[in-house]
Amino acid sequence: MWPLSEALSTDIALPEIGDSAGAFISPQQEYQIGLGFYWRLQQSIDLIDDPEVDSYIQALGHRLVTGSDAPQLPFTFFMVPDPSVNAFAAPGGFIGVHSGLILTSQREDEVASVLAHEIAHVTQRHLLRSFERSQNMSLPMTIAMIAAALLGAADPQMGAAAIMAVQAGGVQGQINFTRTNESEADNLGMQTLVRSGFDALAMPAFFERLQQASRFYTGNVVPEFLRTHPVTTSRIAEARGRAVSYPLMPQIRDNLQFYLIREKLRVMASTDSNQMVQYYADVVKTGNSLNATATQYGYSLALSAVGNYAQARKILLKLIEQDDDRLSYQLALADIEIAVGRLSIALEIYQENQKLYPDDRALTLKQVDALLQANLPEEASKLLLIQLELGVPSQQLYKLLAQAKGDMGEKSQAHSWLAEYYYSSGRLNQAADQLRIAADYAKGDEYQLAKLSSRLRNVEITLSEMEN
């Protein structure tokens, strides 16, 4: 993992969808703009693809979308391996969350408040609206400026460089959200927060803590969120005033899972596993933690990272005694069994948990990976196809399907699923190449050939749009 700011470049390819800044941008076109950025982002950095972390942020995000003023819009939430405190929204509902935001937040409500704010930016089309009003720019140039703005959300210096490149062509623009946009996003975001069962006071509390922390920062080390979403005393006061106007509501949710994911991200982000073990040993000794149970879980993960599986298992088993239905503990235990060579035991753990959490995405992907290691591709394929039927595709799922079909000797299917893997990450040329290979292996199967030909045409059309 490395910071987003070290990896992004400014040559983002986005589809040309019009020639007038005043032209109406349809939701489908808006989605294509965001998808183009999301594809370019994936080609620049390795997003966090841990199935547990991904399932958590998707579940949290979509819970908030349901409580927003546009629950019908498609949203994609993803985690960025960056220690800075930030989140950003692209047109079309693509919302990135830096791992540093999770690690800095003291409650799940705080993360939810930031996500709700970003969701409001999307539903109100703030980014697109700001450029549509700017000096009657052509829409392609508007898109270029939006790309610059999104880069600026990750790193102001890179965003400025992108803008300079656009301005070299004679275009002027402004990338920051206006004060009105920020106020609107705060207001609507808080409504979404409350409707979704979270604490409205979490938003001003988080803003206030960021503002207080910013006093100790200088120069370019100010938290990214404060650069792109300036927090002022008046803004905090307004947010607090809105928050206290909402009645206190009962909040029924699983707070522990937030803390578990938080510790998992902490271990994943560490570059020194031995130092992480010492960190947890010290925290356990002093008792200075937000959640003692999650600290024990993180300690177990850190011990596993240095190969101390015996002690890691001992800690996990104690946690399981207290909460044997907690899937995170079960998955961590299965990881240990695989690491020490007891693959069959891990498969038993997965199978047993399928009874409690049937077709859970994180569980299924971990189980499939183990099944492929055990040379059981048919079983793996069945589980993956169920995930597709449930409507939860992902790059990891496509890649595993390609491997399963390949192990089964179904070469055409293997290459077609590999094509979907490449397509989902924006590597359209590779996707087209894999579809052509799949078609070669499908000779004699007219139905499969027709499907592949149709898919190839669609990919080639998209590729042409992205290059123009």
- Cα 277 to Cα 98: distance, rounded to the nearest angstrom: 23
- Cα 417 to Cα 404: distance, rounded to the nearest angstrom: 10
What integer is the mean pLDDT of 276-292? 94
pLDDT value of position 236: 79
How many domains does the chain divide into?
Answer: 2
Q: Determine which of 141-150, 292-301, 436-445 has the lowest per-residue pLDDT on average.
A: 141-150
Is 118 catalytic? The answer is yes
Find out whether 283 and 296 touch, Cβ atoms under 8 Å: no
pLDDT value of position 249: 64
Find out whether 396 and 418 touch, Cβ atoms under 8 Å: no
Find out whether 259 and 294 touch, Cβ atoms under 8 Å: yes
Domain annotation covers residue 370: no
Domain annotation covers residue 257: no
> In this structure, what are the phi and psi dihedrals at residue 347, rounded to the nearest 5 degrees?
-65, -35
Of 39, 187, 49, 194, nearest to 121 by C-alpha is: 187
Which amino acid makes up residue 135? Q
- Cα 273 to Cα 303: distance, rounded to the nearest angstrom: 8
- Cα 289 to Cα 280: distance, rounded to the nearest angstrom: 10
- Cα 224 to Cα 176: distance, rounded to the nearest angstrom: 13
The angle, 0 to 180 degrees and rounded to 10, between the axes of the packed helices 27-44 and 139-154 is 40
Find out whether 74 and 30 touch, Cβ atoms under 8 Å: no
- Cα 441 to Cα 408: distance, rounded to the nearest angstrom: 14
Tens-digit pLDDT profile for residues 403-421? 999 999 999 999 999 999 9
Which residue has 């239905």 as its token pair? 325
The angle, 0 to 180 degrees and rounded to 10, between the axes of the packed helices 255-269 and 327-339 is 30
Tens-digit pLDDT profile for residues 109-163? 999 999 999 999 899 887 776 655 554 554 445 555 665 555 554 444 444 444 4
Task: Select from 244, 271, 291 the last residue of a domain.
Answer: 244
Find out whether 157 and 81 touch, Cβ atoms under 8 Å: no
Kindly tell me the number of DSSP H helices and DSSP E strands found in the chain.
23, 3
* Single pTM value for the model: 0.85
Q: Is the pLDDT of residue 168 over 80?
A: no
Higher-confidence residue: 227 or 182? Answer: 182
Residues 6+ apart with CB under 8 A from 457: none
Task: Select from 186, 216, 244 the last residue of a domain.
Answer: 244
- Cα 151 to Cα 12: distance, rounded to the nearest angstrom: 10
Q: What angle do CA 399, 402, 403 make, to 5 degrees?
A: 90
pLDDT value of position 130: 61
Find out whether 194 and 249 touch, Cβ atoms under 8 Å: yes
pLDDT value of position 311: 98
Find out whether 445 and 418 touch, Cβ atoms under 8 Å: no
Q: Is the pLDDT of residue 251 over 70?
A: no
Which amino acid makes up residue 417? W
Higher-confidence residue: 174 or 267? Answer: 267
Residues 6+ apart with CB under 8 A from 335: 304, 346, 366
Domain annotation covers residue 186: yes
* b/e 286-295 (16+ beta carbons within 10 angstroms → b): eeebebebbb
Cα–Cα distance list, 393 to 162, 200, 247, 315, 401 (Å): 33, 33, 39, 34, 11
Other beta carbons within 10 angstroms of residue 362's beta carbon come to: 18
What's the pLDDT band for 373 if we cut at 50, 70, 90?
Answer: very high
Q: Please report how many Cα atoms fall inside a 13 Å half-sphere around the Cα of residue 100, on the Cβ side.
A: 16
- Cα 33 to Cα 95: distance, rounded to the nearest angstrom: 13
Domain annotation covers residue 444: yes
Domain annotation covers residue 166: yes
Find out whether 87 and 185 touch, Cβ atoms under 8 Å: no
Domain annotation covers residue 227: yes
- Cα 457 to Cα 330: distance, rounded to the nearest angstrom: 44
Tens-digit pLDDT profile for residues 311-337? 999 999 999 999 999 999 999 999 999
Of the residues 108, 109, 118, 155, which is catalytic? 118
Domain annotation covers residue 445: yes
| The token pair that represents 302 in the structure block | 């850190």
β-strands 76-80, 94-98 pairing: parallel
Task: Select from 244, 272, 295 the last residue of a domain.
Answer: 244
- Cα 270 to Cα 264: distance, rounded to the nearest angstrom: 10
Helix (H) / strand (E) element for 89: namely strand 87-90
| The token pair that represents 49 in the structure block | 């693809």
Domain annotation covers residue 403: no
Which amino acid makes up residue 326? R
Of the residues 186, 360, 369, 420, which is catalytic? 186
Q: Determine which of 30-34, 211-215, 292-296 has the lowest per-residue pLDDT on average.
A: 211-215
Residues 6+ apart with CB under 8 A from 46: 1, 2, 81
Is 186 catalytic? The answer is yes
| The token pair that represents 443 in the structure block | 């000779």
Q: Which domain holds residue 442?
A: 410-468
pLDDT value of position 22: 37
Of 73, 177, 186, 179, nearest to 131 by C-alpha is: 177
What's the pLDDT band for 169 if we cut at 50, 70, 90?
Answer: very low
Q: Decide: residue 379, CB within 10 A, 0-12 exposed, 13-18 middle, 19+ buried.
A: middle
Helix (H) / strand (E) element for 347: namely helix 343-356
